[in-house]
Chain A
Amino acid sequence: MVLSARGLGKDFAGFTAVNGVDLDVEHARIHALIGPNGAGKTTVFNLLTKFLQPTRGRIMLLDQDITKVKPDKIARMGLVRSFQISAVFPHLTVLENVRIALQRPNKLATQFWLPLSSLDKLNPRAEELIADLGLSQYRDTRATDLSYGRKRVLEIATTLALDPKVLLLDEPMAGMGGEDVATVASIIADVAKTRAVLMVEHNLSVVADIAHHVTVLQRGEILASGDYETVSQNPQVRTAYMGTED
């Protein structure tokens, strides 16, 4: 088990957003978190990555208790997240975006006395990541000028630069055209061969295609959990979630 949560809960001024959530994310598997709007999926993400502090429960990452650890430390421990709104550095080039992620692990982040050219030695690795995700021709394009789909791909490239043990993707396909969805889905499936992936996704056909395990959230609590077949046959899920979806 790479990442697990037990009895996770979060209250916002009297309102219980998440309650009693148990999750187990395994190596080399894609775990999808689905549920209607307002079910608490993003809150669970924020709790797991410590952007929010849980009110109740315990989180374990690689056998270490991370319930009280800060978000930047979590990232250094190998749990890296993406955001619902594409998280790129808009006025930096594609290469620079990926290099930002490479700077810290390569101990090239605090030197204020070195020239920018000192970062050039990170270029081969950055270019490799960019090439892997098919962005080579946009190497020197500023992120803001990329299409929406490519911004999301760049975000994944940047995340992979940290070589994370666990990847948390918050709606990686949101707002994408059909073509981009297929590309990103295959990238995620590929990435998950060597690391654990937990993703929030609304696109159920993608979930059916690539997720090994599905957890359904409703009003902050787990409604069902299992493989896609089992979950989609669950009558409660059908009425509560799938029913409203069609």
Chain B
Amino acid sequence: MTDATHTTSSTFTGARHLRTVMLIAILIFLIAAPFLFYPIFVMKILCFALFAAAFNLLLGYTGFLSFGHAAFFGGAAYFTAHAMKEWGTTPEVGILIGVAGAAALGLVIGLIAIRRQGIYFAMITLALSQMFFFYCVQSAWTHGEDGIQSVPRGHLFGLIDLNVTTNMYFFVLAVFLIGIGIIWRFVNSPFGMILKSIRENEQRTVSLGYAVDRYKLGAFVMSAALAGLAGGLKAIVFEFATLTDVAWQMSGEVILMTLLGGIGTMIGPVVGASLVVTLQNELATSDFPVTIVTGLVFMACVLLFRRGLVGEFYASRLGRRLGFRPEQ
């Protein structure tokens, strides 16, 4: 802690250069990815990476552990799928309907959950998302166990045919980048600054005249809406929406992805989601049960590297020398 007093401006610009180089490298990789890997697989990673990043907006930057984010992710998948299949909307309108639905759901759940903290907050979000899960099991429009099948991918803006895999991929990539961009701006904005102050010292923030519950609710709804963006996108990629995406296991999976990658870092959730999805893909064809492996990974993460992969890198000697600062 003693040597943390001053970081010279030269290491700061060093980190900034490194970050720019890294971002460009990642961008090139993402553009080339569909030609190197199975495109659907990369799209799946991008959807989950966006979901984890949206979840991290709440956990990492506001300090709230939600155990009910599946409701927003899976809920939006249903809304988008229904809009496109039954009402015949274009994909971008379908996704917007999914986002709006997830935001509305986030507003209702948030209004109730935000009054409590810690484990109580987690339990309330879990309970409410389970209620939503059973609503999806029962109601007619979600088609119960079957889910909404064969959702047409449609034409983007009525022009670009998303049944062409390359088109679909670049649409997913664009939405992913927009989503990450929104999160980045949200965190680094006047609003994000107040969120930071609430996380650092809530009482003091109240005493400075801030109605902190409104800021927390704002962050919750934004996180829900972005989780919905990821969910709606996934429904179009896979052409269906099912109960898997609203189940509590999905809420658990996104926690694992975020923890594994690194809470409170921008690219941590993306790295975590990539790892978990890859792991699931690799193990899907083997006899070895996936849940045991992910469970072991989770335990190893909690016991050995609590900051997550990216967080540990930032905190390491190399990371510090490069000018990264571990988020506290």
Interface residues in chain A, defined as those with a beta carbon under 8 Å from any beta carbon in chain B: 49, 51, 70-73, 75-76, 80-83, 87-92, 96, 99-101, 103-105, 108-116, 118-119, 141-142, 144-145, 158, 162
Contacts and interface: CB of A to CB of B under 8 A. Distances in A.
Nearest to A80: B207
B205 interface: yes
Q: What are the 7 tightest A-B residue pairs by CB atom distance, in nearest-first order? A: A75-B209, A112-B191, A87-B204, A89-B200, A76-B209, A108-B190, A111-B190
Contacts of A111: 189-191
B159 interface: no
B188 A72 contact: no
Contacts of B204: 83, 87-89
Contact of B197 (A75, A92, A105, A119): A92
Contacts of A88: 201, 204
Interface stretch (B41-49, B102-110, B210-218, B268-276): B210-218
A87 B207 CA distance: 10
Contact of B189 (A81, A115, A141): A115
Interface residues of B, number: 31
B6 A141 contact: yes
Given A109-B194, A114-B189, A142-B4, A158 B201 contact: no
A49 B207 contact: yes
B35 to A, nearest CB: 35
B107 to A, nearest CB: 16
B185 interface: yes
A231 B204 CA distance: 33
Given A141-B5, A141-B6, A71 B196 contact: no
21 contacts: A49-B207, A51-B203, A72-B209, A73-B209, A73-B211, A75-B206, A75-B209, A83-B204, A83-B207, A87-B201, A89-B196, A92-B200, A100-B193, A100-B194, A101-B208, A108-B190, A109-B210, A112-B189, A118-B189, A118-B190, A162-B209
A71 B207 contact: yes
Given A71-B207, A89-B197, 10 more contacts: A75-B209, A87-B207, A91-B200, A100-B193, A103-B193, A109-B193, A110-B194, A118-B189, A141-B6, A142-B4
B196 A92 contact: yes
Given A115-B188, A116-B188, A72 B218 contact: no
Contact of B210 (A81, A96, A104, A118): A104
